[in-house]
Amino acid sequence: MDLLPPLSPPSSVISSSNSNAVMDSGERNWPDLPRDIVLSIFVKLDLNDLLTHAYSVCTTWRNISKDPSLYRNISMPNLCSLKAFSDLEMLYRRAIDYSCGQTVDVSIEFLGTDDLLRHLANSASHLGRLRLELCYSVTDRGLCEVAEKFPYLEELDISISGLSHESLRAIGRCCPRLKTFKFNFKSYRHQGTENDHEAFAIANSMSGLCHLQLIGNKMTKDGLLAILDRCTQLESLDIRRCYNIDFIASLAKRCKEQIKYLHLPYDATDDMSVVSEGDLDRSSVDDYEFSYGSEISQYNSDDNYYDF
């Protein structure tokens, strides 16, 4: 008698067997993970890992990596893994495009340019926070051109740049919701470097500020007085390394009464790596003296510290 060939097991049995084999081996079928699970993982990646590594795994992950919700906050502080700034700028542009206008917080270090800022302004009209650090290629002309496209901006941080009071006037005029402004440099203490242009621009165009940081500014007591006169809503003021300010008794008293959180010129800048290169020893500077006496020292207490 001829024997019939054995019947093939149902496909469902084969699939189940393969799945069990995968599970038994400890492997995972990553592309088949639910989309919400993948998104919860991707949101923890930095921009470089998301757009160069996760993006290249498979078609499914590439599509998920374009989800606009991943690009509400755009930041890439780690430059070590990319050899060329052009590569980094390309990733920034791609992230801005993928955001579909949902970006609210952008941080750019080193490679900021007028073109990149213009691309951001045209794609992120609801931006609430912008940080530009060491972006020397962003010019007054470039920032003035796009300032009007950031009407929802509430916080702006510009640290170590080539920008001037012209940009500050444009920002103050075009960004009525601005509450926190940081405009930081290293420090100046040489004859002839006194300059109140930025302080006057802030006083005349940013009267609604609540928090102001001007580390290393060239302003004198006249510039500080203008800010105190016009920015009446200020809760915190950081004027570390503003060595041109002569704190006479009346000015020190005014600061004490008006500002809740205050950093003085000789306070340490250890928390600000971009401007910290060793602080001056206050005891070694003979021509700088707080005429208001020891009462001003109370601003160094923890109760009078505001984390910008």
Query: pLDDT tens digits for 80-121?
Result: 555 566 778 888 999 999 999 999 999 998 889 999 999 999
Domain span at residue 65? 30-304
- Using CA atoms, how far apart are residues 79 and 67, in angstroms rounded to an integer? 24
* DSSP sequence for 208-221: T-SEEE-TT----H
Does residue 7 lie within any of the structural domains?
Answer: no
- Look at residue 14 and tell me whether its pLDDT is greater than 60: no
Residue 198 forms part of a structural domain: yes
CATH number, position 126: 3.80.10.10
Q: What average pLDDT does range 259-273 have in this prediction?
A: 89
Give which of 26, 224, 81, 128 is closest to 91, Cα–Cα: 81
Domain total of the chain: 1
Tell me: the pLDDT tens digits for 31-44?
778 999 999 999 99
In a domain, 101, yes or no: yes
Residues 6+ apart with CB under 8 A from 144: 166, 167, 170
Q: Residue 276: inside a domain, yes or no?
A: yes
pLDDT category at 165 given cuts 50, 70, 90 is very high
Does some domain include residue 4?
no
Distances in whole angstroms, Cα of residue 300 to Cα of each of 129, 281, 304: 28, 16, 7
Output the pTM of the full model: 0.78
Sign, CA dihedral 196-201-202-203, equals positive
Domain-located, residue 14: no
DSSP 65: T
Distance (Å, whole) CA 10 – CA 296: 84
**Average of per-residue pLDDT across 137-164:** 96
Residue 202 falls inside a structural domain: yes
Q: Does residue 132 have a pLDDT over 70? A: yes
